[in-house]
Amino acid sequence: MDDKSMDDKNMIDSIQSWLGSSGLTVLFIIGAIWVIRKFGTLIIRRAVRKVIAANNFASPEDERQREDTLIGIIDGVVRVGLWVVGGMLIVQEFGVDIGPLVAGASVIGFAIGFGAQSLVKDFVSGLFIIMENQYRVGDVVRIAGESGTVKSVTMRETILRNLDGHVIHVPNGLVDVAKNMTMEFSKVNMDIGVSYDSDMTKVEKVINDVGEKLASDEDWAEKIIDAPVYSRIQNFGPSEVVVRVVAKVAPGSQWSVAGELRKRIKVAFDKNHIEIPFPQSVIHQAKK
């Protein structure tokens, strides 16, 4: 047997020996990670749903949103931790000493943490957002000048999708003020203009009748907490008296309820001969 054949045989023997020992260990590590990820997600989901007290929330929907947000965050942290630990164990099986790698990673991590202050700010802000329950997955919010539905909340960033379908990544460190438009309940505040010669008592009655019928409609009843009602005269405009209509509705329902309410009020005003005026101007002609 020549030297080349001997080298090939030794290489094959080494590979077979490695596969018979370290190879099986690597497969076991990968399998263990998969199993832990598979069942860990279920355990995390059940644990969070059991720990979160239902009586701390105004509705089951609020509770579910809070739970989904925490589940996503915890699951993400566990996933990263598993693959980091698993990756180091696999590298060790290839004969690499992970001691220097761990020390080097610590030094690099310290340098990054010292230099990337904005990243630290993102994590700290994310921690307070989660602890204080400022917003959850599924809420409609306005943060850092951007509005949209919260698709994901992590320790570093909040991901929104706006009405145009755009996905917006907002670092948590930029969230100085968070406006949550779907926390516990929402409100409809609608201004409607009527002509100055309208009977305001009649206007109030028509609006209240429309609100009651809308709230009793089976297609809308679940979305309305307090029926839309006439509130007050909000303002005197150039050509109209502006009245305010208010309602308390389920979280996120304010836009659809407001749209249906406008349609029904317009139909009712037409039926009762209540004018929604166009802009008007009065012209005085000087005498010659």
Largest CA distance in the chain: 128
What architecture is domain 128-180? Roll (2.30)
pLDDT of 66 over the 90 cut = no
Per CATH, which fold does 186-271 belong to?
A: Alpha-Beta Plaits (3.30.70)
Q: Return the higher-pLDDT residue of 58 and 196.
A: 196
Q: In the prediction, which pLDDT does 67 show? A: 74
Say which range, 14-23, 107-116, 148-157, 225-234, has the weakest mean pLDDT.
107-116
pLDDT over 80 (residue 270): yes
- pTM equals 0.62
Residue 124 pLDDT: 81
pLDDT at 266: 96
pLDDT score for 22: 64
Which residue would you say has higher pLDDT here, 115 or 51?
Answer: 51
The answer to whether residues 137 and 71 touch, using CB atoms and an 8 Å cutoff, is no
Mean pLDDT calculated for residue range 16-28: 65
Q: How far apart are CA 122 and CA 130, in angstroms?
A: 12
Residue 185 neighbours by CB under 8 Å, 6+ apart: 58, 225, 248, 249, 250, 251
Identify the band that residue 112 occupies on the pLDDT scale cut at 50, 70 and 90: low
CB burial of residue 70 (10 Å; 0-12, 13-18, 19+)? buried
pLDDT at 238: 87
pLDDT beyond 90 at 192 = yes
In the chain, where are the structural domains located?
A: 8-115, 128-180, 186-271
What is the architecture, at CATH level 2, of domain 8-115? Orthogonal Bundle (1.10)
Give the model's pLDDT for residue 85. Answer: 78
